[in-house]
Amino acid sequence: MKKTVLKKYARLIAQVGANVQKGQDVVIYTALDQEELAVLIAEECYKLKARQVFIEWTSTLYTRLSYKKETVKTLSTVHPWRIEKEKYYNKELPAFIYIDSDDPDGLKGLNPKKMAMVRKNIYPILKPFRDERDNKYQWIIAGASSPKWAKKVFPNLPTKQAVNKLWDAILYTSRCNDDPIIAWEEHNNDLEKRSSYLNSLDIDYLEYHSKNGTDFKVWLNKDVKWEAGGEKTLGSNIFFNPNIPTEECFTTPIKGRAEGKVVATKPLSYQGQLIENFSFIFKEGKVVEVHAEKGEELLKEMVNMDEGASYLGEVALVPFDSPINNLNILFFSTLYDENAACHLALGAGFTNLYKDYEKYSLDELKERGINDSSIHVDFMIGSDDLSIKAHLKDGRVVDIFKEGNWAF
């Protein structure tokens, strides 16, 4: 990939994604194979007058090794230095930049019960710190092509060609064109218009139907808004785009009110392993049945992670005729695949979508129907024949999606 193109992408991530502020610290999480991009992003952050940029290097190979060699007790240990780091994050509120280039099969074969147990042990220790800074800082997830990821997406191409082709797809779907800053202004404006229309409808519940077996209803919370594109931090009111790319309008449904069956239309990459051809059955808002041709045990571990893991935290609308889906590529990455089609998410809801959320405690927001969980896992249900109807509080029924695309 040409350095000039990477620089443009780095600028997009730092300026439009994280919207780094003068004097702000930045933390970049990235794999070892993305050194060049990480340094270019850091350089763009400094151009935006960042005070200091830290790079946290990650390694799937090392993570895999540690899960094989260490005990659950050791893996679950939260050392004092990690607590101090969380305290620093809460005090300084740095911008977080996550670069995703992981091998989709990187953790394949590891014991899912062991991984789930470690997560359950660590989550309650770190949760109070993360709750304290929730909604108060900017963050962004963006992708970067790597050899193992590229070969998973394009297995029939030589590695170099596969890497370049994946880069082309990433840059195209991220709107990293001649002037990505202007492109994202226009894109955010379009998404804002669609979410504003949805907010104007006063929807009681959504009804989904598809020939693949999806027959599903989900009720919405009257005090929760639809959002799309970027969002603003609490207090400092800084606008940022947490996902590059993004095509969705999304909201948080009310906990405990969802009925029927949803059939996934794309594989799910979860904890470095693939779950394929799966479905869920909901009753009174909760997943009561799980089926999968591949990865069913891992899926069951996921929905039993904690009390909230089997309830919905997100409803997202994405047209089947989207830039990502039109590439006809399965990315094996939630960041991209979720923006190819309509999706739902199990686990934590978005507290910042609740009206005047800053006036309430987390416990009060939970009482008002916002789901809480240690996970938030998106899975795709969009198809070319998906229909979605909105049943409004006044009794009217409005088409939202017809044949997989916007009906308005």
The confidence score (pLDDT) of residue 89 equals 98
Which residues on adjacent β-strands are paired with residue 386?
Answer: none
Per the prediction, the chain carries an average pLDDT of 96
Q: How confident is the model at residue 238 (pLDDT cuts 50, 70, 90)?
A: very high
Q: What percent of the chain has pLDDT over 90?
A: 94
- Does the residue 72 lie in any domain? yes
What is the H or E stretch that residue 74 is in?
Answer: helix 72-75
Q: What's the Cα-to-Cα distance from 123 to each of 78, 117, 126, 398, rounded to whole Å? A: 10, 10, 5, 41
343-347/312-317 β-pairing: antiparallel
Verify that 136 and 258 share a domain, yes or no. Answer: no
pLDDT tops 80 at residue 272: no
Structural domain including 274 reads 202-225+245-406
Q: What angle do CA 158, 162, 164 make, to 5 degrees?
A: 125
Q: How confident is the model at residue 121 (pLDDT cuts 50, 70, 90)?
A: very high
Between CA 130 and CA 93 the distance in angstroms is 11
Q: Which of 333, 326, 380, 334 is nearest to 212 (CA)?
A: 380
Task: Kindly report the pTM of this predicted structure.
Answer: 0.89
The confidence score (pLDDT) of residue 177 equals 87
- Does the residue 49 lie in any domain? yes
Verify that 27 and 152 share a domain, yes or no. Answer: yes
pLDDT tops 80 at residue 279: yes
Q: Which of 159, 135, 133 is nearest to 145 (CA)?
A: 159
Q: What percent of the chain has pLDDT over 70?
A: 100
Verify that 399 and 270 share a domain, yes or no. Answer: yes
Q: Which residues fall within 8 angstroms of residue 365, CB to CB, at 6 or more apart? A: 351, 354, 357
- Does the residue 263 lie in any domain? yes
The confidence score (pLDDT) of residue 273 equals 81
Q: Which of 287, 253, 270 is nearest to 369 (CA)?
A: 253
Verify that 107 and 255 share a domain, yes or no. Answer: no
- Please give the average per-residue pLDDT across 124-130, as a whole number: 95
Between CA 12 and CA 143 the distance in angstroms is 12
- Does the residue 187 lie in any domain? no
The confidence score (pLDDT) of residue 144 equals 98
Q: 310-326 pLDDT, tens per residue?
A: 999 999 999 999 899 99
- 317 phi and psi angles, rounded to 5 deg: -110, 125
- Please give the average per-residue pLDDT across 347-353, as a whole number: 96
Verify that 22 and 124 share a domain, yes or no. Answer: yes
Verify that 163 and 212 share a domain, yes or no. Answer: no
The confidence score (pLDDT) of residue 274 equals 86
- Does the residue 154 lie in any domain? yes
Which residues on adjacent β-strands are paired with residue 392?
Answer: 203
Lowest mean per-residue pLDDT among 65-74, 245-254, 321-330? 321-330
The confidence score (pLDDT) of residue 348 equals 96
Provide the domain count of the chain.
2
Verify that 220 and 120 share a domain, yes or no. Answer: no
Between CA 54 and CA 71 the distance in angstroms is 30
- Does the residue 232 lie in any domain? no
Q: Are 318 and 339 in contact (CB under 8 A)?
A: yes
Verify that 214 and 124 share a domain, yes or no. Answer: no
243-244/249-251 β-pairing: unpaired
Between CA 78 and CA 294 the distance in angstroms is 33
- Please give the average per-residue pLDDT across 82-87, as a whole number: 98
Q: 20-57 pLDDT, tens per residue?
A: 999 999 999 999 999 999 999 999 999 999 999 999 99
Is the Cα dihedral 319, 323, 325, 331 positive or negative? Answer: negative
The confidence score (pLDDT) of residue 278 equals 98
Between CA 282 and CA 289 the distance in angstroms is 7
Q: Which of 47, 158, 153, 68 is nearest to 114 (CA)?
A: 68
Between CA 379 and CA 344 the distance in angstroms is 6
Verify that 115 and 217 share a domain, yes or no. Answer: no
Residues in the chain: 408
pLDDT tops 80 at residue 211: yes
Verify that 209 and 65 share a domain, yes or no. Answer: no
- Please give the average per-residue pLDDT across 283-302, as a whole number: 96
- Please give the average per-residue pLDDT across 189-203, as a whole number: 96
Q: Report the amino acid identity of residue 173.
A: T
- Does the residue 42 lie in any domain? yes
pLDDT tops 90 at residue 139: yes
Helix axes of 35-47 and 3-11: crossing angle, nearest 10 degrees: 50
Q: Which of 322, 169, 347 is nearest to 249 (CA)?
A: 322
- Does the residue 339 lie in any domain? yes
- 88 phi and psi angles, rounded to 5 deg: -60, -45
Verify that 355 and 291 share a domain, yes or no. Answer: yes
